[in-house]
Amino acid sequence: MMSSYGSKKTHTNLVMVAVDKDKNSGYAYRWTTNNIENPIIIAVHVKHKDLPHQGTNVFPPDEEDVDNVFSTLREMCNDKVVKMKEAVVDDSDIARGLLDYAKRNRIQTIIVGAPASYTKNVLSRSLNMRTISKRFKGYEDIATSIIKSAPDYSSVYVIAKGKVVETRPAIRPLDNLDVKSPGMSPAMTVCKSENDIRGPIFKRGASTSRSRRGLLLLSTNQSLESIDLSNHHSQKSQLFSHNSSLNENNSSGSHKFGSLGLPKLDKDSSNEADSQHKEEMEAEMKELRLKLRQTMDMYKSACKEAITAKNKAKEINQWKLEEARTVEEVMMSKEAALAMAEQEKAKAKAAIQEADEAMKKAEKEAQRRLKAERKARREMEEKDQALNVIARKDIRYRQYTLEEIENATQNFSLSMKIGEGGYGPVFKGQLDHTNVAIKVLRPDANQGRKQFLQEVEILCNIRHPNMVLLLGACQEYGCLVYEYMDNGSLEDRLLRKQNSPPIPWQNRFEIAFEIATALLFLHQTKPEAIVHRDLKPANILIDKNFVSKISDVGLSRLVPPCVADSVTQYHMTSAAGTLSYIDPEYQQSGKLTTKSDIYSLGIVFLQIITAKPPMGLSHQVKRAIENGTFSDMLDPVVTYWPIDEVLVFAKLALRCAELCKKDRPDLALEVIPELNRLKEFGFKSQKYERNRSHALRPPAPPRGPL
């Protein structure tokens, strides 16, 4: 016949595949498309009905059959399949329906899918195992029925899980009958090389399904009639040729019989009977050989499966041994884990006990500290009360009344205000025909009263030419009366507020020396050293002769004498002072020493020569010295800086501003001697410039006679 895709004549094979809803049908169909060349596949599905047998009815598949049975088969078509037809048979016996369809359509190859139990049945029949055959005695499935009752011109293959488990080859050919492929019909599906399935499009609905059903039935009957017709013509032609040959033999035989006589006929008939018997024996032997070959193949397959089962059993035993070993290890590890858990539990219990003891100790320590704080607070209050009493009766300073302070400041007029500090505003005034600076306590200052008493106490007990002089106080209003400093603070002069003239570099060296000597005086106060804690340019005042004096000692602290050697520190609960001038160690740890003032002194020295803000100033100067740009850091309003001496001064200031207090120099032994040398150098320079300017001055004209 002709293929669907070319004119070349190829041999086709009419194959019937029994299909159902189970997966065994899929295995059988896939095996057919992969192993049989040029097949015309007729997928037959038998609808089992519990009715008396009244013949076999063949119908095309309806929508339910397509969804449940044939839709998955269409997806398995490949380019090896010539054509595919789908048919549904109604019969009360599935095997009988399949055999009737195969006989009626002269099917050459029958493919049946076998359940898993079928392999055991085959083994029992092939190996003659009594124990297995007894178990499956009387069992006969669809595949067995088809193998026994299939036509002798048909080959039967039983497929299980994609493999052939039993075959029965055709005993004789199909009388050399050219089986024509069924014609194309709406139920026919043509599989092309693109692996797509082309067929009718079944629409949902009763009228459409009925019309399609009629068309499919018509095409099926037409195709079956064409096959039957072709078989009929073939048989008729063979019968005609056989009769003609017999006539020829008879004619020739009559001629021979006429010449040879009757005995010749008896001999020929006996020879013909012997040859026919011989042919039957050869056919039977051929069939026996085929069955023997099948039996041997099944025996080999059974042996392979037995070996596989033995190997699987061995693997299962090995797995069981490994599982038992694993379970044993798990049990041992579980016991070890339990023992470890007991140990950890004991450790946790001990840790809880230790934590409870530590908590009890902490509570006792907290109670002790609370008592100590209450006691210290009570002592501080008693001390403040004593200071207040002493301050009211103190005769070491002049006590002014509020009326005198108001008259001196013109009722605290803003025009008389000359500054503002953390303590409160500062006013210029005149008391006893003398210019004074009056510092007034702010009403909202929390520590103002304490600072007032602290500053009165310190300034009344010390006298130094570079410490601001306390003239008196107003205990009632919290006012402190100081001597008036005409040039204001060092900060104002460095920033040149109110267009004040710049400070010469010689005076800057002298101011640095005076601040250092006043600070040393505080540190060497007996019986306890005084730490200023708030040394900065705003708290350094300058008089009209550029003499500098330290003020604002309200934050000062009296520390034990041993603090001066930097071995024992005086611990403070909170750091006080201005942020950029506070000692970093004191700020972090609260440990106060006399070297805490040395750090502030170093920052003040750097501002004296640079007139720059204090934030990060030590780092900027150090980097400028390393890069060789130190001269760019100096105050530009001063000309003719002595670079060598100023560089020595800057390095000394950087040593004072070291982060670690142990790296800072000693004030009495290192800082003041070097500052004294630089001050003398400035005096000599001033004297030299003064003499030079006097020499360059033109002589005065002579005076005439009176």
**Residues carrying an active site annotation:** 534
* Maximum pairwise Cα distance, the chain: 213
Answer whether 100's CB lies under 8 Å from 91's CB: yes
Count of residues for the chain?
A: 706
The DSSP code sequence of 466-511 is TBPPEEEEETTTTEEEEE--TT-BHHHHHHTGGGPPPPPHHHHHHH
The DSSP code sequence of 652-695 is HHHHHT-SSGGGSPPIIIIIHHHHHHHHHHHHHHHHHHHHHHHH
What are 374's strand-pairing partners? none
Task: Using CA atoms of 567, 573, 577, 579 in order, give the dihedral in degrees to the nearest 10.
Answer: 90
What does the angle CA 428 – CA 430 – CA 434 come to, to the nearest 5 degrees? 115
Q: Compute the distance between CA of residue 363 and CA of residue 243 in angstroms, rounded to an integer.
A: 131
Q: Residues near 51 by Cβ (< 8 Å), separated by ≥ 6?
A: 92
CB atoms within 10 A of CB 39: 22
Q: Compute the distance between CA of residue 536 and CA of residue 533 in angstroms, rounded to an integer.
A: 9
| CA torsion through residues 461, 464, 467, 472, sign | positive
Name the one residue in this structure whose structure tokens are 């159902």: 20
Residue 527: asked if its preceding bond is cis (omega within 30°), the reply is yes
